[in-house]
């Protein structure tokens, strides 16, 4: 169709492959970034930019996404993963030359959790003691005479199974494993001792909400009477600068995955002086101060963000590229067109449209690999007929996920809830396989018998199709998926579910308000590399968009997180996952693949499960012999990069 004989347009790769003249990388990030403030945005497009501009305690490994030392050289985790101590390097610098120390981290964490900032990522930090209370504007309850605060455990029904971080430090016991090369500070600060006490009771800061809560619990109300309410302050958060280069974080529960979480952008440093001086205009190119391998050169919104190498960066010697040009674009075909003509060198994940796969996948610059993300259908379990688990299971049995994976070509069928093959050593449970017979049987048991017609098709006249719909946000791939699912249910159950698409924001609102009856298309990608980031969707009722909340499941998750042995923890998590899947509040569909392209002369970028790249290791290879003739393996031994 579009064949040509120019040597720069060889058929091995998709389109023109000529390295840029200058030592720069041109990368499409996705939607226009909301802000250059790393605490604000939740999206992946922004995450990649933040990784270039800002550094944190740890950084993502380019192949495994495990936490690698960044501004923290070493760290220790206490015996039950409820407290961490980080030893910072001494040569960290801001882009303006100022030194970086532990106080910068304290400031950053406190700011990220402040109410005024209204960061949408704040919830990631809720594992830190008093973080949620501070972010929600809650208050402690203090007895004015004794000065003592009321404790949460006195008013809850749960077993007191407190993590080590909340227990007073018994003299002589080692809180941390003794293998650490650097010892944890012997002199204990008052703050640390304060952290090692049981959680305080918190109540809503808003008076009306508080009174509502008190009125519900007579014991609470009487205990609170006559006491004063002390607002939770930023200083109460469990983050401490023990000295200028030591940072200690106290958690409310054991969280073995927490170190990996700290690579997230919300925990990356922002410069206190700049923020205090310029307020919410601090990210403007002539004000902004950063601490990552690159700094802002020019920013034309909707056009290009150009970042250049920062000579002040502590690891500037490793940084290979002179500049990165980030192009904010969200339309996949346009992105692919730019790539084909050679105007960009690499693109973000999920860019190759399904219809193009057959052509593009055969090219050597196609990046394949499993992603830490899943596609699934949420079910609103609060509305009939979906409140009957048999009906839900019937619809799950009626979908042939293998066929779906074949059609989509780049996904793997999913029967449980965590993405397949991502978490090493995790015994992922198996959900139900495709079984249309069983599906029809279950549906019949639930009161909606399925009859077979003379031409082999099925019908189910009793099923209330007017009460059930499938909603999705408007996009070609979602539409194709919806139509496919609809066809499956029609074919296997004889039920025609109506489809309804809506614009993204309306869709989110409808879903979170549980304003729909039936199914909703959904997807989830990992915030950090641990199964809990998926399973925690059902930890509280509001996040899942299904209305399913089971205290038993929550207890199972809590118990798993208390385990010190990672293997045992994984087992318990898998059991919880199986329990959740058996209750079928969702229909799992597939594990995504990363699905992007990069030119063969771009080296140091790997198709890892999160599509997050530590930019300092990326470079342009001008020697054709050394080009990546296929997708670089994630298992390749690290060579001269470290």
Positions in 372-411 near other proteins (CB under 8 A): 403, 406-407
- The helix (H) or strand (E) run that includes residue 566 is helix 566-583
Exactly one of 359, 382, 387, 630 binds other proteins (CB under 8 A); which one? 359
* 301 sits near other proteins (criterion: CB under 8 A): yes
Stretch binding other proteins (CB under 8 A), from 355-363, 434-442, 557-565, 606-614 = 355-363
DSSP3 helix / strand / coil % (the chain, rounded to 5)? 30, 20, 50
Exactly one of 22, 103, 118, 437 binds other proteins (CB under 8 A); which one? 118
Positions in 411-450 near other proteins (CB under 8 A): none
Q: Which is nearer to other proteins, 191 or 356 (CB)?
A: 356
* 96 sits near other proteins (criterion: CB under 8 A): no
* 502 sits near other proteins (criterion: CB under 8 A): yes
Q: Are 292 and 53 in contact (CB under 8 A)?
A: yes
DSSP annotation of 170: -
- What is the residue-wise DSSP string for 279-293? GGGTTSTTT----SS
Exactly one of 2, 170, 186, 317 binds other proteins (CB under 8 A); which one? 2
Spell out the SS3 assignment of 582-615.
HHCCEEEEEEEECCEEECCCEECCCCCCCCCCCH
For the four alpha carbons of 275, 277, 278 and 283, in that order, the dihedral sign comes to negative
| Least distance CB 467 / other proteins (angstroms) | 16
- Distance between CA atoms of 451 and 490, rounded to whole angstroms? 12
Strand partners, 536: none
* 300 sits near other proteins (criterion: CB under 8 A): yes
Stretch binding other proteins (CB under 8 A), from 38-46, 63-71, 72-80, 187-195 = 38-46
Q: Which is nearer to other proteins, 501 or 583 (CB)?
A: 501
* 336 sits near other proteins (criterion: CB under 8 A): yes
For the four alpha carbons of 503, 504, 505 and 506, in that order, the dihedral sign comes to positive
Give, in order, the Cα–Cα distances in Å from 571 to each of 77, 82, 122, 568. Answer: 22, 20, 29, 5
Stretch binding other proteins (CB under 8 A), from 88-96, 336-344, 415-423, 621-629 = 336-344
- Distance between CA atoms of 26 and 72, rounded to whole angstroms? 30
- Token match 């449209």: residue? 353
* 637 sits near other proteins (criterion: CB under 8 A): no
| Least distance CB 138 / other proteins (angstroms) | 8
Exactly one of 32, 315, 388, 420 binds other proteins (CB under 8 A); which one? 32
Token pair in block for residue 278: 């310029």
* 455 sits near other proteins (criterion: CB under 8 A): no
Q: Which is nearer to other proteins, 427 or 547 (CB)?
A: 547
Exactly one of 99, 177, 333, 566 binds other proteins (CB under 8 A); which one? 333
- Distance between CA atoms of 54 and 59, rounded to whole angstroms? 10
Stretch binding other proteins (CB under 8 A), from 242-250, 429-437, 441-449, 539-547 = 539-547
CA-wise closest residue to 610 among 261, 365, 370, 322: 370
* 543 sits near other proteins (criterion: CB under 8 A): yes
Stretch binding other proteins (CB under 8 A), from 66-74, 352-360, 423-431, 458-466 = 352-360
Positions in 594-623 near other proteins (CB under 8 A): none
R_g of the chain, CA atoms, integer Å: 26
User: Dihedrals φ, ψ of 584, to 5°?
Assistant: 50, 50
Q: Which is nearer to other proteins, 455 or 503 (CB)?
A: 503
| Least distance CB 536 / other proteins (angstroms) | 10
- Distance between CA atoms of 227 and 215, rounded to whole angstroms? 16
Positions in 461-490 near other proteins (CB under 8 A): 474, 476, 479-480, 483-484, 487
Q: Which is nearer to other proteins, 99 or 333 (CB)?
A: 333
Exactly one of 11, 22, 34, 276 binds other proteins (CB under 8 A); which one? 34
Q: Which is nearer to other proteins, 92 or 494 (CB)?
A: 494
For the four alpha carbons of 607, 610, 613 and 614, in that order, the dihedral sign comes to negative
CA-wise closest residue to 450 among 438, 462, 460: 460
């Amino acid at each position: 169709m579009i064949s040509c004989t120019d040597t720069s347009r060889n058929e091995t790769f998709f389109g023109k492959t000529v390295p840029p003249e200058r030592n720069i990388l041109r990368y499409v990030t996705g939607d226009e970034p909301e802000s250059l403030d790393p605490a604000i945005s939740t999206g992946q497009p922004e995450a990649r930019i933040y990784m270039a501009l800002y550094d944190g305690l740890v950084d993502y490994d380019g192949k495994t996404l495990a936490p690698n030392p960044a501004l923290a050289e070493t760290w220790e985790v206490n015996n039950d993963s409820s407290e961490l101590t980080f030893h910072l390097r001494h040569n960290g610098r801001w882009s303006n030359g100022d030194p970086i120390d532990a106080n910068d981290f304290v400031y950053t964490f406190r700011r990220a959790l402040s109410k005024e900032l209204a960061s949408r990522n704040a919830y990631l930090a809720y594992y830190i003691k008093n973080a949620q209370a501070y972010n929600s504007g809650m208050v402690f309850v203090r007895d004015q005479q004794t000065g003592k605060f009321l404790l949460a455990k006195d008013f809850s029904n749960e077993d007191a199974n407190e993590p080590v971080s909340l227990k007073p430090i018994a003299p002589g016991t080692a809180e941390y494993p003794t293998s650490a090369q650097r010892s944890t500070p012997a002199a204990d600060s008052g703050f640390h001792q304060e952290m090692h006490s049981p959680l305080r009771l918190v109540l809503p800061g808003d008076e009306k909400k508080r009174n509502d809560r008190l009125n519900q619990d007579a014991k609470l109300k009487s205990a609170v009477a006559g006491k004063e309410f002390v607002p939770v302050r930023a200083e109460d958060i469990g983050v401490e600068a023990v000295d200028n280069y030591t940072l200690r974080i106290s958690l409310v529960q054991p969280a073995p995955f927490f170190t990996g979480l700290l690579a997230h952008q919300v925990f990356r440093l922002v410069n206190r002086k700049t923020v205090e001086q310029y307020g919410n205009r601090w990210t403007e190119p002539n004000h902004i101060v950063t601490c990552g391998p690159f700094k802002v050169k020019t920013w034309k919104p909707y056009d290009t963000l150009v970042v250049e190498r920062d000579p002040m960066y502590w690891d500037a010697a490793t940084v290979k590229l002179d500049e990165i040009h980030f192009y904010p674009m969200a339309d996949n075909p346009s992105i692919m067109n730019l790539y084909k003509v050679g105007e960009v060198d690499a693109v973000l994940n999920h860019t190759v449209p399904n219809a193009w796969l057959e052509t593009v996948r055969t090219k050597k610059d196609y990046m394949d690999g499993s992603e830490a993300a899943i596609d699934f259908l949420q079910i609103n379990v609060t509305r009939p007929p979906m409140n009957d688990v048999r009906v839900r299971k019937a619809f799950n049995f009626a979908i042939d996920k293998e066929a779906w994976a074949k059609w989509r070509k780049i996904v793997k069928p999913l029967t449980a809830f965590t993405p397949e093959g991502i978490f090493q050593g995790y015994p992922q449970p198996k959900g139900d396989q495709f079984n249309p017979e069983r599906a029809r049987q279950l549906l019949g048991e639930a009161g909606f018998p399925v009859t077979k017609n003379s031409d082999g098709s099925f019908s189910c006249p009793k099923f209330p199709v007017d009460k059930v719909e499938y909603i999705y946000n408007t996009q070609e791939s979602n539409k194709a998926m919806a139509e496919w699912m609809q066809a499956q249910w029609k074919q296997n159950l004889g039920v025609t579910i109506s489809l309804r698409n809506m614009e993204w924001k309306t869709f989110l609102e409808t879903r979170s308000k549980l304003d729909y009856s039936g199914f909703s298309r959904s997807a989830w990608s990992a915030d950090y590399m641990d199964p809990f980031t998926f399973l925690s969707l059902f930890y509280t009722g509001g996040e899942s968009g299904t209305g399913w909340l089971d205290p038993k499941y929550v207890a199972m998750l809590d118990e798993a997180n208390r385990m010190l042995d990672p293997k045992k923890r994984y087992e318990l998590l898998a059991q919880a996952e199986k329990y959740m899947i058996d209750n079928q509040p969702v229909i799992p569909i597939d594990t995504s693949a990363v699905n992007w392209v990069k030119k063969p002369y771009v080296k140091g970028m790997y198709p890892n499960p999160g599509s997050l790249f530590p930019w300092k290791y990326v470079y342009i290879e001008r020697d054709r012999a050394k080009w990546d003739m296929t997708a670089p393996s994630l298992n390749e031994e690290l060579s001269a990069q470290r």
